Chains A and B, each alone.
Chain A
Amino acid sequence: MYDWSALPRGARASLSVAGLVMAASFLGFGALVRSLEVGLLPGLATTVFIWALPGQVVALDMLASGANLLAMALAVTLTAVRLLPMVVLVMSKVRLEGARRWPLYALSHFVAVTIWRIAEDGIDEVDRPQRLPWLTGLGLALMSSMLVMTSIGYHLAQSLPPLLAACLVFLTPSFFFISLFANAKFRMDYIAIAAGALIGPLCHQYYPEFDLLAGGLIGCTIAYLIGRAGRKRSK
């Protein structure tokens, strides 16, 4: 059985470097929400319902451009596919044989880049029955803090000098782009970054509503094929 007494200790672990980077990103995200002119409430809703910044930005970007439900669902779901391997990895570290399964499905909602990194780095020192409650406490604490940070960023964006506001907005894309390099392991990851960055804007010229989908699918297929050919040759 899970040892739920570890929940508050997990919540306290949100005060860490990873939590700080995340707080800065959500401050920038709040400012970005402001610049999209969709209102604060949809921004907060993405933090609670989606809880993964790339998907949140895509959803709000599409809301701002008036895209329909199907286009939004397709684009967001494709950015969320990357959560699947992270969830698989986190679950393999917290699962208890014979324990109830719903806590795993509850915890999975909190799994994104930050929780995954923390689970990789710091969870081994936590006793196995305490791991799931510990991460759940961390997820709850991070999500409630990020709602506050989103709101602060949203309001700062309008009262700050324009240049500072621009820097806040810039935090999020900068963090995304650099964490792509931080998570890149194979040559195909680097090709995917370059291909997405080049093909996405190109597609934007012709199909503004589907530029992310097209950029992602075309870019990744090029990267995957080149990367696979490279791996085969090196064998």
Chain B
Amino acid sequence: MSNSFYPILLILIGGGLTTYVWRFMGVWMSERVDPEGELLMWVRCVATAIVAALVAGIVLSPNAILASTGLEMRVAAIAAGVLAFYATGKNTGLGVAASVVVLFALALLS
């Protein structure tokens, strides 16, 4: 049990508290800060780039299960998802569905 307790504690402190800090500050700042201000613009940028880097990492060097698909299939599937998102008038659900279907089809055909 001590083996599984440490990861939970790590997630509570390293993940949970560090996430809640920003929610707490959000409530505190909601009376005081301009949601379209310059500081929040930079903050949005960091967040966006981090998530993009996260996705790129998963697509380029995935873990066990996803590694059964080819690199070019994953890149094509992500691109197809973004294209479908715009082709359907910015429908996130259809974009995600299209990318997964493309990955499935490419892997099946190979």
Q: Is B53 an interface residue (CB 8 A)?
A: yes
- A–B complex contacts, Cβ < 8 Å, 6 sampled: A52-B19, A54-B54, A87-B23, A174-B100, A189-B48, A196-B53
Interface centre among B12, B18, B82, B104, by most chain A C-beta atoms within 10 angstroms, is B18
- Residues in A29-84 with C-beta less than 8 Å from chain B: 31-32, 34-39, 41-42, 45-46, 48-52, 54-59, 61-64, 69, 72-73, 75-84
A211 partner, pick from B46, B53, B107, beta carbons under 8 A:
B53
CA gap between A219 and B57 in the complex, in Å: 14
Chain A residues near B61 (CB-CB < 8 A): 201, 204
B79 to chain A, nearest CB (A): 10
Chain A contributes a number of interface residues (CB within 8 A of B) equal to 108
- Using a CB–CB cutoff of 8 Å, the interface residues on chain B facing chain A are 4, 7-8, 10-16, 18-27, 29-31, 33, 35, 40-66, 68-69, 74, 77-78, 81-82, 85-86, 90, 92-93, 95-96, 99-100, 103-104, 107-108
Do B96 and A21 have beta carbons less than 8 Å apart?
A: yes
B52 partner, pick from A42, A165, A180, beta carbons under 8 A:
A180
Do B23 and A63 have beta carbons less than 8 Å apart?
A: no
CA gap between A37 and B65 in the complex, in Å: 10
Do A83 and B57 have beta carbons less than 8 Å apart?
A: no
Give 1 or 0 for each of A86-125: 1 = CB within 8 Å of chain B CB: 1111011001000001001100110100000000000000
Main secondary structure of the interface of A (DSSP, over half): helix
B55 to chain A, nearest CB (A): 5
Q: Is A171 an interface residue (CB 8 A)?
A: yes
B42 to chain A, nearest CB (A): 5
Chain A residues near B77 (CB-CB < 8 A): 170, 174
Do A224 and B42 have beta carbons less than 8 Å apart?
A: yes
By beta carbon, the residue of chain B nearest A83 is B22
CA gap between A162 and B104 in the complex, in Å: 11
